[in-house]
Amino acid sequence: MKRIISIAALLILFHTSVHSQVYTTRTGFIGFYSKTPLEDIRAENNQVFAAIDPGKKNIAFSLLLRGFVFTKELMQEHFNENYVESDKYPKAVFSGYFAGDVNLSKDGVYKVMVKGNLTLHNTIHPLETPATIEVKGGKLLGQAEFKVKPEDHNISIPSLVRDKIAQEMRVDVKIECSTNK
């Protein structure tokens, strides 16, 4: 039920006019990486809902945190239970817009600036990052990379393991969206 409400809220954000089409996917990719001398942490989620409205220049993502798969099972358990508290805060959501022109009538790669808010661990934090949107065969392919600090989202890392987790996580986003004609 919560998932339906979340998707409905994102679709309301993207209420379209006759001249605007929304491109979506439910199989987007978001991965995050933490590299330290003591340990590397890598997790990937291939169940990301994404929506792009190129007419209004809106963009949004939503994912279940339990959808992240780690290279080590114990890391996944600690991530969900101790850090992001997935049972209490099950989702991460980004909602914002992009600045830059995207020509939907012609295949090509367009550099844009994405600005908005990332909600994680029930904490909203502004996010601004360069990205690319590629128009290819009637689809929109999006790609971005940015950094997230756990403390920006009130995620506490115990001092016992602090040296094993980077101060900033690198986040990679890759999506392929199409219209629902």
Q: Please give the structure tokens belonging to residue 142.
A: 């999006």
Residue type, 131: A
pLDDT at 181: 58
130-137-105 Cα angle (round to 5): 75
pLDDT at 18: 42
Query: Long-range contacts of range 100-103, CB-CB < 8 Å, 24 or more positions apart?
Result: 100/133, 102/54, 102/133, 102/135, 102/140, 103/135
How large is the greatest C-alpha to C-alpha distance in the chain, in angstroms?
56
Q: What share of the chain is helix, strand, coil (3-state, %, to 5)?
A: 20, 50, 30
pLDDT, tens digit, 9 for 90 and up, residues 52-99: 999 999 999 999 999 999 999 999 999 999 999 999 999 999 999 999
Percentage of the chain exceeding pLDDT 70: 89
Q: Please give the structure tokens belonging to residue 167.
A: 């101060």
Could you give phi then psi for residue 37, rounded to 5 degrees? -60, -25
Domain residue limits, the chain: 2-177
Residue type, 72: K
What letter does residue 7 receive in the DSSP assignment? H
pLDDT at 16: 41
What letter does residue 164 receive in the DSSP assignment? G
Terminal Cα distance for the chain, rounded: 26
CA atoms within 13 A on the CB side of 86: 12
CA distances from 123 to 41, 58, 84, 131, 174 (A): 23, 21, 11, 23, 23
Residue type, 103: N
pLDDT at 180: 76
pLDDT, tens digit, 9 for 90 and up, residues 4-30: 545 545 555 544 444 579 999 999 999
pLDDT at 9: 52
Domain 2-177 in CATH 2.40.128.110? The answer is yes
Q: Please give the structure tokens belonging to residue 136.
A: 């290819």
Pairing mode of beta strands 40-53, 69-70: antiparallel
Q: Which whole number is the average pLDDT over 118-147?
A: 98
pLDDT at 17: 42
Judged against a pLDDT cut of 50, whether residue 35 lies above it is answered with yes
Q: Which whole number is the average pLDDT over 101-106?
A: 94
